[in-house]
């Protein structure tokens, strides 16, 4: 491993961590063909952390070549038990390095270190362990046809999989793609977000240390319209999995149609409704609903950004919700009690502020926030709009920031109709003590996940994905395996 692509940096907490900066191809950190680099920023300060090597289309070609060779010559011969052992070894190494990974995730992304360590890392490690367990349990069936015939199916890997991931949960998104892809016997070329390249490269080094053969996992830092588009259009990539904006998701699907009809899975945006009935436990509803929208600074695809509160408790809910917002700490991600850190970039900061302006212009009541927090980095105060109506932009469009739109409702029919007034269908939540109402509403909501009396619960074994324009396919759980295998039918004539 060349020392050109390893550097020590000092964290805000005074600790030193080793950072890798090269493209990870064939188990080595290497330069790009064009020798270009780009800088990644600490969103808490707006200052440069380090520069990393930038992949172009040519580097994507090289990585795909490596992944194709590894698939055909090596990985295909590694059986499920061996793949499972390698993945478990990777999970052990991530656990060993959990402090460093959490610190680097916090530095590059801005999420609180304590959250990265207690939420992102444990779930990421779980995901690798969960899919490690599947490696030797992926098999087809014998299908009875006629007495003189024998028919069976095989669940085979797809081949070389492309993955394009976003910046809001860099380590988790890496595991959601790599976990099932590797368990099913595929090789991968993964592009990280240009805003958060660092932790994936650290995990790349752990893949090598765990003993994965070269070329099985290739990780590129780079930009969407160049390296990302090259993956989406590549003739030798057999499947692409994307998480990010709906606009880019559409281009990925088009790229598949224009190239080799690679399989596509998409996990896109959301504008998830969160419905609070008068009979719910109000303090619990406030606590979970706050977490539902403000967790990860509102940068969650499943954020409960539209909160509908039944009229008889509306004022009471709002009062408590505001008090909760005033009690959480916004600030330095390396402070133990920080709940909310900075937004990821100046661009996202500006986008969110323009949504806040539109909410004010369209006549919603700005109850709290609406402005920058502090004077450095990309922090925005928790922002609460009340009396928001269905036609306002802040009720219609994904803001992806710490901004909630709250509205009143009277009846079940009315709130279900309102909940469905969106092109998205990723998640929803219902707060009520009436179990039959909870189940009836959960069943009727057109969303991939419905939370009842909670929000943001995720497990490695529970599927996640979108209805409507929130995506195609499911990640996590057994369902994810279907998207990384293809079924072959073998028909045998026993009489011949
Ligand atoms: P984005 O969709 O541009 O970025 C996500 C990933 O796609 C990154 O790796 C990026 O490099 C890549 N990408 C960008 N253009 C591409 C292209 N033409 N071909 C292939 N890959 C491409 O999202 P961005 O600009 O960072 O955020 C904009 C909005 O997208 C956010 O405000 C939010 O609404 C939504 N978003 C949703 C996410 C989710 O978890 N569903 C995650 C990130 C953003
Ligand atoms: Mg960064």
Report the CATH number at residue 30. Answer: 3.40.605.10
Taking a 5 Å cut-off on Cβ, the residues next to ion ligand 2 are: 40-41, 108, 195
Of ligand 1's listed atoms, the one at least distance from the Cα of 270 is 41
Residue whose C-alpha is closest to residue 303's, from 404, 391, 388 = 404
- Are 437 and 485 contained in the same domain? no
- State pLDDT tens for residues 249-263: 999 999 999 999 999
Separation of alpha carbons 33 and 56, rounded Å: 8
Whether 233 has a pLDDT exceeding 60, the answer reads yes
Q: Is the CB of 243 under 6 A from ligand 1?
A: yes
Do 222 and 301 share a structural domain?
Answer: no
Question: Is 430 a member of any domain?
Answer: yes
Residues 295 and 217 in one domain: no
- Which ligand sits nearest to residue 168's alpha carbon? 1
Could you give the count of Cα atoms lying within 13 Å of 208 in the half-sphere of its Cβ?
A: 17
CA of residue 189 to ligand 1 center, whole Å: 17
Ligand 1: which of 41, 194, 199, 244 to mutate, judged by most atoms within 8 Å of the beta carbon?
A: 244
Counting from 1 in the atom list of ligand 1, the atom nearest the Cα of 348 is 32
Residue 458 falls inside a structural domain: no
Q: Is residue 465 part of a domain?
A: no
Same domain, 126 and 222: yes
Q: Does residue 463 form part of some domain?
A: no
Indicate if the pLDDT at residue 496 is higher than 90.
no
pLDDT of residue 240 exceeding 90:
yes
Give a yes or no: residue 98 inside a domain. yes
- Whether 419 lines ligand 1, by a CB cut-off of 6 Å, is no
Q: Could you tell me if 217 and 82 lie in one domain? A: yes
Q: What is the average pLDDT across 403-423?
A: 97
Mean pLDDT (whole number) for 420-425: 97
Question: Is the CB of 469 inside a 6 Å radius of any atom of ligand 1?
Answer: no
For residue 141, tell me if it sits in a domain: yes
Confidence of residue 13 (pLDDT cuts 50, 70, 90): confident
Asked if residue 313 has pLDDT above 60, the reply is: yes
Residue 3 confidence (pLDDT) above 90: no
The yes-or-no answer on residue 469 being catalytic is no
What is residue 252's predicted lDDT score, i.e. its pLDDT? 98
Which residues form the domain of 58?
A: 6-268+471-489
CATH number for 289 = 3.40.309.10
Residues 336 and 191 in one domain: no
Identify whether residues 308 and 201 lie together within a single domain: no
Average pLDDT, integer, range 410-427? 97
Whether residues 227 and 304 share a domain: the answer is no
pLDDT > 70: percent of the chain: 99
Tell whether 460 is covered by a domain: no
For ligand 1, the distance from its centroid to the CA atom of residue 308, given in whole angstroms, is 28
Is there a domain that residue 462 lies in? no
pLDDT above 70 (res 2) = no
Q: Percentage of residues in the chain with pLDDT exceeding 90?
A: 99
Question: Mean pLDDT, to the nearest integer, of 397-405?
Answer: 98
Contacts of 262 (CB under 8 A, 6+ apart): 162, 234, 237, 238, 239, 240, 256
pTM, two decimal places: 0.98
The neighbouring-strand residues paired with 384 are 368, 404
Residue 421 · residue 400 · CB < 8 Å: no
Q: Answer whether 216 contacts ligand 1 (Cβ < 6 A).
A: no
CA of 245 to the centre of ligand 1 (A): 4
> In degrees rounded to 5, what are phi and psi of residue 494?
-75, -10
Q: Rounded mean pLDDT of the chain?
A: 97
Q: How high is the pLDDT of residue 431?
A: 98
Please tell me whether residues 166 and 249 are part of one structural domain. Answer: yes
Residue-level pLDDT at 187: 99
Which of these is catalytic: 54, 100, 105, 267? 267
For 38-67, how does the pLDDT look when each residue is reduced to its tens digit (9 = 90+)? 999 999 999 999 999 999 999 999 999 999
Looking at the fold, whether 262 and 358 belong to one and the same domain comes out as no
Q: Are residues 406 and 442 in the same domain?
A: yes
pLDDT at 279 over 90: yes
464: number of CA atoms within 13 Å, CB side?
Answer: 24
Which of 237, 248, 269, 293, when mutated, tests ligand 1's pocket best, judged by the most ligand atoms within 8 Å of its CB?
248
Residue 1: band (very low, low, confident or very high) from pLDDT cuts 50, 70, 90: very low
pLDDT at residue 105, as a whole number: 98
Q: Whose CA is nearest to atom 12 of ligand 1?
A: 224
Model confidence pLDDT, tens digit, residues 69-126: 999 999 999 999 999 999 999 999 999 999 999 999 999 999 999 999 999 999 999 9
Checking DSSP bridges between strand 365-368 and strand 383-386, what pairing results, if any? antiparallel
pLDDT tens digits along 200-221: 999 999 999 999 999 999 999 9
- For residues 363 and 221, membership in a common domain is answered with no
What is the domain count for the chain? 2
């Amino acid at each position: 491993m060349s020392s050109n692509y390893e550097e020590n940096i000092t964290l805000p907490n005074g600790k030193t961590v080793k950072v890798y900066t090269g493209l990870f191809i064939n188990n080595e950190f290497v330069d790009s063909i064009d020798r270009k680099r780009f800088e990644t920023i600490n969103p808490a300060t707006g200052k440069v952390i380090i520069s990393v090597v930038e992949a172009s289309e040519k580097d994507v070609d090289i990585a795909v070549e490596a992944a194709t060779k590894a698939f055909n010559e090596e990985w295909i011969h590694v059986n499920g038990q061996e793949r499972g052992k390698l993945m478990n070894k990777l999970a052990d190494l991530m656990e060993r390095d959990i402090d460093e990974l959490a610190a680097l995730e916090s530095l590059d992304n801005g999420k609180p270190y304590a959250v990265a360590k207690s939420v992102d890392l444990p779930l990421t490690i779980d995901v690798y362990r969960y899919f490690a367990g599947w490696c030797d349990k992926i098999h087809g069936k014998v299908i009875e046809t006629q007495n003189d015939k024998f028919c069976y199916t095989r669940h085979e890997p797809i081949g070389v999989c492309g993955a394009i991931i976003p910046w809001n949960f860099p380590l988790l998104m890496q595991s959601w793609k790599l976990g099932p892809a590797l368990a099913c016997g595929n090789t991968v070329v993964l592009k990280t977000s240009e805003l958060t390249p660092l932790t994936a490269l650290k995990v790349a080094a752990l893949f090598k240390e765990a003993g994965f053969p070269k070329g099985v996992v290739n990780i590129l830092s780079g930009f969407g319209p160049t390296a990302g588009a090259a993956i989406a259009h590549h003739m030798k990539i057999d499947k692409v999995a994307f998480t990010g904006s709906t606009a880019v998701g559409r281009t990925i699907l088009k790229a598949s149609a224009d190239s080799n009809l690679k399989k596509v899975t998409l996990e896109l945006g959301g504008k998830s409704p969160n419905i609070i009935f008068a009979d719910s436990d109000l303090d619990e509803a406030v606590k979970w609903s706050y977490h539902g929208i403000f967790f990860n600074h509102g940068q969650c695809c499943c954020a409960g950004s539209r909160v509908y509160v039944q009229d008889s408790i509306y004022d009471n809910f709002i009062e408590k919700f505001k008090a909760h917002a005033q009690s959480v700490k916004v600030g330095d991600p390396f402070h133990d009690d920080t709940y909310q850190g900075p937004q990821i970039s100046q661009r996202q900061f500006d986008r969110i502020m323009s949504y806040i302006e539109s909410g004010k212009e369209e006549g919603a009541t700005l109850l709290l926030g609406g402005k920058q927090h502090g004077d450095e980095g990309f922090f925005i105060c928790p922002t609460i709009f009340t009396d928001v109506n269905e036609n306002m932009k802040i009720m219609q469009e994904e803001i992806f920031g710490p901004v909630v739109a709250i509205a009143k409702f009277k009846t079940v029919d009315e709130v279900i109709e309102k909940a469905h007034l969106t092109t998205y269908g990723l998640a929803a939540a219902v707060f009520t003590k009436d179990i039959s109402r909870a189940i009836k509403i959960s069943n009727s909501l057109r969303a991939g996940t419905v939370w009842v009396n909670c929000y943001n619960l995720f497990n490695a074994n529970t599927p996640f994905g979108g209805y409507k324009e929130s995506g195609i396919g499911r990640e996590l759980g057994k369902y994810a395996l279907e998207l990384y295998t293809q079924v072959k039918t073998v028909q045998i004539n026993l009489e011949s």
